[in-house]
Amino acid sequence: MATDEGAADRNAALFGSGSVSIRLYPHNELPATAIVDELCTQAGLALDHGFDGIMTSEHHGGFAGYMAQPLQMASFVLEERDTGWAAAAPLLLPLRSTALVAEEVAWLQARHGGRVGLGVAAGALPLDFAAAGVDQADAVDRFKAELPRLVALLRGEDLGDLDGDPALRACRDAPVPVLSAAVSVAAAERAARCGAGILMEGMSAPERLARLTRAFDEAGGTGSKVLIRRVWLGRVQSALVESQRAVYESYATPTTSFGDDETIACDDPDEMAERLAATVRAVGADALNLRVQLPGMAPEEVREQIERIGSSVLPALAKTWPPPAQGDPESADRGPAAREVVATVDVESDPGDLPGVVG
């Protein structure tokens, strides 16, 4: 639905090398109608101020500022905007039929070609499984079994009884590739073997995440390597950061260690751009997904940050962090970037993983 050449070029670079997207979360203190309106407003501000796309993620029962239906929210954003992409990332795959997820995504892609992303996760929060009436003990095994099938369906492959679906068949020419939200070396290697890229959560140090990108490359990974980072122009609200970390710790494994806070906060847009670029290079990532919102922040604060970061940090970042040119030795270290719409995946909890934590 791009309306001009520039918009078409922007959509073509989805999750490509140097792309920057933003994660949006609902303000659950508002009424439901106002929540949807506010998220659409924030999405519009982000896309108008230089962000390439929008991501939403899933938990149920109003948990800690997440959405119950992130794919539906993505569809709202797409209907209101002619450019930029929207992705439910992550959607909790074990709570749903894989075939039905693939059908929904394929038909959304049919409406908004080249602008639809999907994220799928194994999930870790007991509330989500209780709400869906699904046994959490089966989640990891089911996820492992269904991930390859989902990837194939969204490539228009191995459709079986679904071969008559026009939208799924169209994925043969316009596939929806998969990006795995890897939290361990094993997860990164699995993503590479599945033909997926990786999405790296926002709470680990660059040194740890660099091991994942290295493992991904060595396993033959060809997808994009996307890094989530929390950012704030100005003085970071430490109490809100600590409160959100406590939420993640409440359902992490006993062996999980989050380490120091990795929020990039400063007053100077140029400094933020430099720090983001340095972090991306240290990790070996080739795309960024930024988060500013935390539960407890007023909508006005989030909107202001989106505008300021989009108008001042992103232009500086584009100068500080250019994508490596074809044949550049750095590109061999970072790996090829996917330049299409992607799906995101969270995997099982290997020792040392941060299960279900992506923000």
Q: What pLDDT sits at residue 52?
A: 94
pLDDT tens digits, one per residue of 243-292: 666 666 566 555 555 567 789 999 999 999 999 999 999 999 998 999 99
Q: Say whether pLDDT at 64 is over 50.
A: yes
What's the pTM? 0.85
Architecture of domain 5-322+335-346: Alpha-Beta Barrel (3.20)
pLDDT tens digits, one per residue of 74-115: 999 999 999 999 888 888 999 999 999 999 999 999 999 989
What is 216-282 written as a DSSP string?
Answer: HHHTT--S-EEEEEEEEESS--HHHHHHHHHHHHTTS-TT----S---EEES-HHHHHHHHHHHHHH
- HEC-encoded secondary structure of 190-223: HHHHHCCEEEECCCCCHHHHHHHHHHHHHCCCCC
- How far from each other are the two terminal CA atoms of the chain, in whole angstroms? 29
Burial class, 33, CB count within 10 angstroms (exposed 0-12 / middle 13-18 / buried 19+): exposed
Q: Say whether pLDDT at 351 is over 80.
A: no
- Residue located via tokens 């894989």: 98
pLDDT tens digits, one per residue of 156-213: 999 999 999 999 999 999 988 778 878 889 888 888 888 888 888 888 899 999 999 9
- Cα(127)–Cα(65) distance, integer angstroms: 14
Cα dist. 235→70, 107, 243, 295, 301 in Å? 30, 43, 16, 17, 12
Q: What pLDDT sits at residue 247?
A: 65
Domain boundaries, the chain: 5-322+335-346
